[in-house]
Chain A
Amino acid sequence: QKEVEQDPGPLSVPEGAIVSLNCTYSNSAFQYFMWYRQYSRKGPELLMYTYSSGNKEDGRFTAQVDKSSKYISLFIRDSQPSDSATYLCATWADFAGNMLTFGGGTRLMVKP
Protein backbone atom coordinates (compact mmCIF):
# COMPACT_ATOMS: atom_id res chain seq x y z
CA GLN A 1 0.00 0.00 0.00
CA LYS A 2 1.32 3.43 -0.95
CA GLU A 3 1.72 6.02 1.79
CA VAL A 4 -0.41 8.51 -0.13
CA GLU A 5 -3.28 7.31 -2.30
CA GLN A 6 -5.05 9.37 -4.93
CA ASP A 7 -7.73 8.54 -7.49
CA PRO A 8 -6.04 8.86 -10.91
CA GLY A 9 -9.16 9.99 -12.75
CA PRO A 10 -9.44 11.40 -15.32
CA LEU A 11 -12.06 13.74 -13.96
CA SER A 12 -14.01 15.67 -16.58
CA VAL A 13 -16.24 18.59 -15.55
CA PRO A 14 -17.96 21.48 -17.35
CA GLU A 15 -16.63 24.99 -16.96
CA GLY A 16 -17.95 26.65 -13.81
CA ALA A 17 -18.34 23.41 -11.86
CA ILE A 18 -17.03 22.84 -8.35
CA VAL A 19 -14.25 20.28 -8.39
CA SER A 20 -13.33 18.05 -5.45
CA LEU A 21 -9.99 16.25 -5.45
CA ASN A 22 -9.08 13.88 -2.65
CA CYS A 23 -6.23 11.90 -1.16
CA THR A 24 -5.76 9.58 1.77
CA TYR A 25 -2.52 8.98 3.62
CA SER A 26 -1.40 6.27 6.01
CA ASN A 27 1.18 7.83 8.33
CA SER A 28 -0.44 9.92 11.04
CA ALA A 29 2.89 11.64 11.74
CA PHE A 30 2.82 13.64 8.52
CA GLN A 31 2.69 17.35 9.31
CA TYR A 32 2.46 19.32 6.09
CA PHE A 33 0.09 18.66 3.23
CA MET A 34 0.52 20.18 -0.18
CA TRP A 35 -1.27 20.36 -3.48
CA TYR A 36 0.75 20.68 -6.65
CA ARG A 37 -0.53 21.39 -10.14
CA GLN A 38 1.30 19.97 -13.13
CA TYR A 39 0.63 21.03 -16.69
CA SER A 40 1.70 18.85 -19.57
CA ARG A 41 5.46 18.97 -20.21
CA LYS A 42 6.03 21.02 -17.06
CA GLY A 43 7.19 20.34 -13.53
CA PRO A 44 4.79 20.45 -10.58
CA GLU A 45 4.08 23.89 -9.10
CA LEU A 46 2.95 24.39 -5.53
CA LEU A 47 -0.68 25.50 -5.30
CA MET A 48 -1.34 25.40 -1.59
CA TYR A 49 -0.08 23.90 1.62
CA THR A 50 -1.74 23.23 4.97
CA TYR A 51 -0.15 22.53 8.30
CA SER A 52 -1.94 19.95 10.45
CA SER A 53 -5.76 19.91 10.29
CA GLY A 54 -8.03 22.62 9.01
CA ASN A 55 -8.92 24.63 5.96
CA LYS A 56 -7.01 27.10 3.88
CA GLU A 57 -8.47 29.26 1.16
CA ASP A 58 -6.73 31.03 -1.72
CA GLY A 59 -9.00 32.58 -4.30
CA ARG A 60 -10.97 29.82 -6.00
CA PHE A 61 -8.99 27.09 -4.23
CA THR A 62 -9.64 25.60 -0.79
CA ALA A 63 -7.42 22.96 0.80
CA GLN A 64 -8.78 20.85 3.63
CA VAL A 65 -7.05 18.36 5.91
CA ASP A 66 -8.76 16.00 8.32
CA LYS A 67 -6.03 14.30 10.32
CA SER A 68 -8.49 12.13 12.25
CA SER A 69 -9.47 10.37 9.03
CA LYS A 70 -6.15 10.98 7.22
CA TYR A 71 -7.99 12.69 4.39
CA ILE A 72 -6.78 15.57 2.20
CA SER A 73 -9.03 17.53 -0.13
CA LEU A 74 -8.72 20.30 -2.68
CA PHE A 75 -11.80 22.17 -3.86
CA ILE A 76 -11.82 24.34 -6.95
CA ARG A 77 -14.74 26.73 -7.35
CA ASP A 78 -15.87 28.15 -10.69
CA SER A 79 -13.49 25.83 -12.54
CA GLN A 80 -11.92 27.17 -15.74
CA PRO A 81 -10.45 25.39 -18.79
CA SER A 82 -7.06 26.73 -17.64
CA ASP A 83 -7.43 24.55 -14.54
CA SER A 84 -7.07 21.46 -16.74
CA ALA A 85 -3.95 19.76 -15.41
CA THR A 86 -2.82 16.93 -13.17
CA TYR A 87 -3.21 17.66 -9.47
CA LEU A 88 -0.84 15.98 -7.05
CA CYS A 89 -1.23 15.81 -3.31
CA ALA A 90 1.92 15.48 -1.24
CA THR A 91 2.97 15.20 2.36
CA TRP A 92 6.11 16.31 4.17
CA ALA A 93 7.43 15.69 7.65
CA ASP A 94 10.82 16.55 9.06
CA PHE A 95 11.12 13.06 10.59
CA ALA A 96 10.99 11.56 7.07
CA GLY A 97 13.97 13.50 5.83
CA ASN A 98 13.68 16.42 3.50
CA MET A 99 11.47 14.69 0.95
CA LEU A 100 7.96 14.88 -0.40
CA THR A 101 5.73 11.82 -0.60
CA PHE A 102 3.32 12.17 -3.51
CA GLY A 103 0.01 10.67 -4.43
CA GLY A 104 -0.26 9.35 -7.96
CA GLY A 105 -2.03 12.46 -9.27
CA THR A 106 -5.53 13.12 -10.60
CA ARG A 107 -5.93 14.35 -14.17
CA LEU A 108 -8.59 17.06 -14.37
CA MET A 109 -10.21 18.25 -17.59
CA VAL A 110 -12.47 21.31 -17.53
CA LYS A 111 -14.52 21.56 -20.70
CA PRO A 112 -15.67 24.96 -22.03
Chain B
Amino acid sequence: KAGVTQTPRYLIKTRGQQVTLSCSPISGHRSVSWYQQTPGQGLQFLFEYFSETQRNKGNFPGRFSGRQFSNSRSEMNVSTLELGDSALYLCASSSGHDYGYTFGSGTRLTVV
Protein backbone atom coordinates (compact mmCIF):
# COMPACT_ATOMS: atom_id res chain seq x y z
CA LYS B 1 0.00 0.00 0.00
CA ALA B 2 1.61 3.26 -1.10
CA GLY B 3 2.07 5.88 1.57
CA VAL B 4 1.52 9.61 1.48
CA THR B 5 3.62 11.24 -1.22
CA GLN B 6 4.74 14.84 -1.00
CA THR B 7 6.53 16.72 -3.74
CA PRO B 8 8.94 18.32 -3.98
CA ARG B 9 11.07 17.20 -1.04
CA TYR B 10 13.11 20.39 -0.95
CA LEU B 11 12.52 23.92 -2.16
CA ILE B 12 14.45 27.15 -1.98
CA LYS B 13 12.52 30.32 -2.72
CA THR B 14 13.14 34.04 -2.46
CA ARG B 15 11.16 36.40 -0.27
CA GLY B 16 8.08 37.69 -2.05
CA GLN B 17 7.74 34.67 -4.32
CA GLN B 18 4.95 32.14 -4.10
CA VAL B 19 5.16 28.37 -3.82
CA THR B 20 2.90 25.38 -4.40
CA LEU B 21 3.36 22.09 -2.58
CA SER B 22 1.67 18.85 -3.55
CA CYS B 23 0.36 15.88 -1.57
CA SER B 24 -1.01 12.55 -2.79
CA PRO B 25 -2.87 10.73 0.00
CA ILE B 26 -3.18 7.04 0.63
CA SER B 27 -5.60 5.44 -1.79
CA GLY B 28 -9.13 5.58 -0.38
CA HIS B 29 -8.39 8.38 2.07
CA ARG B 30 -10.61 11.38 1.53
CA SER B 31 -9.12 13.72 4.11
CA VAL B 32 -5.88 15.62 3.67
CA SER B 33 -4.45 17.84 6.40
CA TRP B 34 -1.48 20.16 6.26
CA TYR B 35 0.85 21.03 9.10
CA GLN B 36 3.80 23.39 9.45
CA GLN B 37 6.72 22.24 11.56
CA THR B 38 9.36 24.66 12.86
CA PRO B 39 11.91 24.32 15.68
CA GLY B 40 10.29 27.14 17.62
CA GLN B 41 6.59 26.39 17.23
CA GLY B 42 6.58 22.65 16.60
CA LEU B 43 3.80 21.14 14.52
CA GLN B 44 0.97 23.54 13.82
CA PHE B 45 -2.23 22.75 11.98
CA LEU B 46 -2.79 24.69 8.77
CA PHE B 47 -6.00 23.27 7.27
CA GLU B 48 -7.90 20.13 6.42
CA TYR B 49 -9.73 19.19 3.26
CA PHE B 50 -12.34 16.48 2.94
CA SER B 51 -14.00 15.65 -0.36
CA GLU B 52 -12.72 18.88 -1.94
CA THR B 53 -14.09 21.09 0.87
CA GLN B 54 -12.06 22.85 3.52
CA ARG B 55 -13.45 21.60 6.83
CA ASN B 56 -11.12 23.22 9.28
CA LYS B 57 -8.52 25.95 9.27
CA GLY B 58 -5.74 26.82 11.68
CA ASN B 59 -4.55 30.23 12.77
CA PHE B 60 -2.44 31.20 9.77
CA PRO B 61 -2.65 34.30 7.56
CA GLY B 62 -4.55 34.27 4.29
CA ARG B 63 -1.27 33.91 2.37
CA PHE B 64 -1.60 30.21 3.15
CA SER B 65 -4.23 28.48 1.08
CA GLY B 66 -5.00 25.06 -0.23
CA ARG B 67 -7.28 23.00 -2.34
CA GLN B 68 -8.23 19.41 -2.91
CA PHE B 69 -9.02 17.74 -6.19
CA SER B 70 -11.63 15.10 -6.97
CA ASN B 71 -8.99 12.36 -6.72
CA SER B 72 -8.22 13.57 -3.15
CA ARG B 73 -4.81 14.93 -4.11
CA SER B 74 -4.16 18.25 -2.43
CA GLU B 75 -2.04 21.30 -3.05
CA MET B 76 -0.98 24.00 -0.65
CA ASN B 77 0.01 27.47 -1.77
CA VAL B 78 1.93 30.16 0.07
CA SER B 79 2.01 33.59 -1.52
CA THR B 80 4.34 36.51 -0.81
CA LEU B 81 6.83 34.33 1.01
CA GLU B 82 8.47 35.60 4.19
CA LEU B 83 11.65 34.38 5.86
CA GLY B 84 9.52 33.02 8.70
CA ASP B 85 7.75 30.67 6.31
CA SER B 86 10.87 28.50 6.21
CA ALA B 87 9.71 25.20 7.66
CA LEU B 88 8.94 21.57 7.04
CA TYR B 89 5.45 21.30 5.57
CA LEU B 90 3.78 18.00 6.32
CA CYS B 91 0.75 16.47 4.74
CA ALA B 92 -1.31 13.80 6.48
CA SER B 93 -4.10 11.69 5.07
CA SER B 94 -6.90 9.90 6.88
CA SER B 95 -10.35 8.49 6.27
CA GLY B 96 -11.68 11.77 7.65
CA HIS B 97 -13.68 10.22 10.47
CA ASP B 98 -11.11 9.31 13.09
CA TYR B 99 -7.66 9.95 14.48
CA GLY B 100 -5.82 7.55 12.13
CA TYR B 101 -3.42 9.86 10.28
CA THR B 102 -0.54 8.88 8.04
CA PHE B 103 2.05 11.54 7.38
CA GLY B 104 4.22 12.09 4.35
CA SER B 105 7.93 12.86 4.62
CA GLY B 106 7.29 16.54 4.11
CA THR B 107 8.54 19.35 1.91
CA ARG B 108 11.42 21.35 3.34
CA LEU B 109 10.90 24.98 2.29
CA THR B 110 13.71 27.48 2.72
CA VAL B 111 12.99 31.15 2.07
CA VAL B 112 16.04 33.32 1.45
Please give the number of chain A residues whose Cβ is less than 8 angstroms from any Cβ of chain B in the complex: 21
Residue pair A100, B45 in contact (C-beta under 8 Å):
yes
Q: Does A75 contact B (CB under 8 A)?
A: no
> How far is B96's CA from A101's CA once the two chains are assembled, in angstroms?
16
Q: Are B90 and A98 in contact (CB under 8 A)?
A: no
Chain B nearest Cβ from A108, distance in angstroms: 16
B101 within 8 A of A: yes
CB distance from A87 to the nearest CB of B (A): 12
A interface footprint on B40-56 (CB within 8 Å = 1, 0 otherwise): 00111100101000011
Distance, CA A103 to CA B58, complexed state (A): 16
- Which residue in B4, B43, B105 is a CB contact (below 8 Å) of A102? B43
Residue B33, interface by CB 8 Å: yes
Partner of B56 from A46, A92, A99 at Cβ < 8 Å: A99
Within 8 A of A (CB), among B73-112: 90, 92, 94, 96-97, 99-106
Are B106 and A88 closer than 8 Å at their CB atoms? no
Given contacts A43-B104, A98-B55, A98-B94, contact A34 B42 (CB under 8 A): no
- Which residues of chain A come closer than 8 Å to B50, judged between CB atoms? 98
Indicate the size class of the contact surface on chain B: 20 to 34
Give the chain A neighbours of B90 by CB distance below 8 A: 43-44
* B24 at interface by CB-CB < 8 Å: no
Q: How far is the CB of B68 from chain A (nearest CB, A)?
A: 13
A-B contacts, 24 of them at CB < 8 A, read A36-B103, A42-B105, A42-B106, A43-B92, A43-B103, A44-B43, A44-B90, A44-B103, A45-B103, A46-B100, A46-B101, A88-B43, A97-B55, A97-B56, A98-B31, A98-B33, A98-B50, A98-B97, A99-B48, A99-B58, A100-B35, A100-B45, A100-B101, A103-B42
| Chain A residues close to B by CB (< 8 Å) | 32, 34, 36, 41-46, 49, 88, 92, 97-105
